[in-house]
Structure 1
Amino acid sequence: MPIARPAASVTLDGFELRVLHIPLVSPFTTSFGTETVREVIVVRALTPDGDGWGEIVTQAAPLYSSEYTQSAWDVALRFLAPAILDARTLAPEQVAGVLEPFVGHRMAKAGLELAVLDAALRAEGRAFGEYLGAVRDAVPSGVSVGIQADPAALVDRVGGYLDEGYVRIKIKIKPGRDVADTAAVRDAFGAIPLRVDANSAYTLADAELLAELDRFDLLLIEQPLQEDDLVDHAALARRLRTPVCLDESIVSAKAATDAIALGAAAVVNVKAGRVGGYLEAVRVHDVCRDAGIPVWCGGMLETGIGRAANAALAALPGFTLPGDVSASSRFYARDIVTEPAVLEDGHVRVPTGPGLGIEIDQVALDDFTVERTLLRR
């Protein structure tokens, strides 16, 4: 399902990049560590017809990904943004080609591309969801629950999210915090839609342990092995009844094609930052839909910028499972947009205004900014 009607070209005058430190409402713990403050890069594309906004979803340290804030900041300012500005006038669909000579750095590329897209679509008065091919005006919202102090604390936290109306629960697991945690949630809440996310914390030698999770009737187990272990994921999938979902392994539409061919993925988590942008995310969606593989939209603790873009992506027809597009209040007491995403009857609305359909809260943006650079052509 390629983009039906490309966006118009924009003339770029410059980019503004900011590093933000936004406090989380509660610590978020995975096998990679614990975050209490979200460090993120916000991108503003400057054009004669108005600005566009993007978000680079790296973290402070290279624990989830080889990309991290300072590496993204450096490569964006030294190489990626100047290359786009050298083109001067271009359509958003051309950004990936301009940046292709630079190896890797998909999250940085995705944030810059999104800012250009937002600027172009705002100038046209066209919504991001319409541009991508969204078929729903709201998407079912799931919540990702980090590792808690103990199973009882996990049950308390999950109960709170169910009371708020979330339609699907995902819990983080790691060795020593897997079977007992999953059992506690299943025993407490019965047949709720439940999945687990290992964030690459296991190896194929743990197959027997992971098979113990089969008895909990999970929707899926997400990324149990290392990101480059496609062959081992295929071997593990043959030993589990629980569907194996790949996250970190899927870095492009080509990677999705390979994983499906190997039998390594029964489900795919699509994260635009991880695959290099929302246009590549659409291509991943298309590959999976054509192969009959369900997809869902993962999250990276995005601000209101990325959250609006994710809602639009998750409204595409192949996104048949609830994703991580939660209300802003799940992570932030204060967002950087004037109308943060809210939960309505278990769903988050897809913005319908021009571009991403959000407006920036300039005061909040300034309050959270710890570093700022303006790069002009």
Structure 2
Amino acid sequence: MTTSHEPAGAPPAHARPAPGGGPLPVVLVGAGKVAHAAHLREIRDLPGAVRLAAVVEGDPVRSAAVRAAGFPDAVHAADLDEAVRAGARAALVCTPWWTHRAVVGECLARGLPVLCEKPVSLDPAEIDELIAAERAAAVPVAAGYMKRHDPVVALFVAHCRARLARGRRLTVDIHDPNAPHQVAHLLPYDPPPFGPQPPPAEAALARALGPRADAVQREAYARGLGGSLIHQVNLVHAVLAGSGLALEGRLLHAEQWADGDSVGCRWRPSRRLAVDVAHQRLPGHRRYREVLEFTAEDSVATLTLPSPYARDESATLHVDSWDPATGLGARETRTAEPGHTGFRRQLLAWAAQLTAGGPPLPGLAEVRRDAAAVREAALRLS
């Protein structure tokens, strides 16, 4: 008779990465736009940290494109079980957002730690199910908040946190082409056109928002709020962490205009601080533009971010301050070396967490908090 010393609920030994055992072998689940425009090219350039062991993708064109992208040895598996047999010990989930509950749940059932693209889910009930599944599997689910891994963004968050008591306003303004031309040069096939939500997405949105939500609210929740601004809401929550302040329950108003292509909302976390965020879909613009600005009593910090898919640009942080006694002002500018994208740093941090005991990535607790805030805004849209 053999005796197991595994703790109750622990994943099987074959499904746990070996600490210090070389690059993390992963299965890519879903080889669509974000996989090709971001993750695959970073994995290809990080052979010492991450190895693509397997791919689960039902579309033969996209599956073949993975081979052409420089991964001829990756096993093209029919399912996760075959991927595990091929050596995968963690899962990078890049399927459409409305499939995440099922796909992440299947990964956890096999003991695979997960890095899931955002939004992990827009349904609080689904997120609670995943939290329970994560606890039972005893392996982590990391959320694809890749902006959190940009060192310039981290400097901005730290600046805001240090001056939060003197803060007056935190704003987010995004001009987003959200059009095929934004990523066409990064994909080995024609990018999908911008169009209506598919029926499974509509059904997921109806479950998430409830029967009283209208079509405009569902569309804004899926795209402007949940598809884009969820990133920036996460950054705002990172600024507020530990302060006792929150967004949910402090919403002043939410509105949409331009037939739903633009959405904005305002929160008042405290009597002294306002948070304003806006996302505008502008397909006629050729470039993505994102600006976050924190105004305090003694300074203004402005963070400018390029397209998340850009490798030849990087985030820039300007901090303007002044001395009331002398009237002299100062500007400090910080930027980072281009090419070291948030996607790249996120993969490195994830591999370090799983193979070397590195710090945890943002997880499901943050996903639930962020979704609660943007869901409240979606239901208040006018």
* TM-score, scaled relative to structure 1: 0.27
* TM-score, scaled relative to structure 2: 0.27
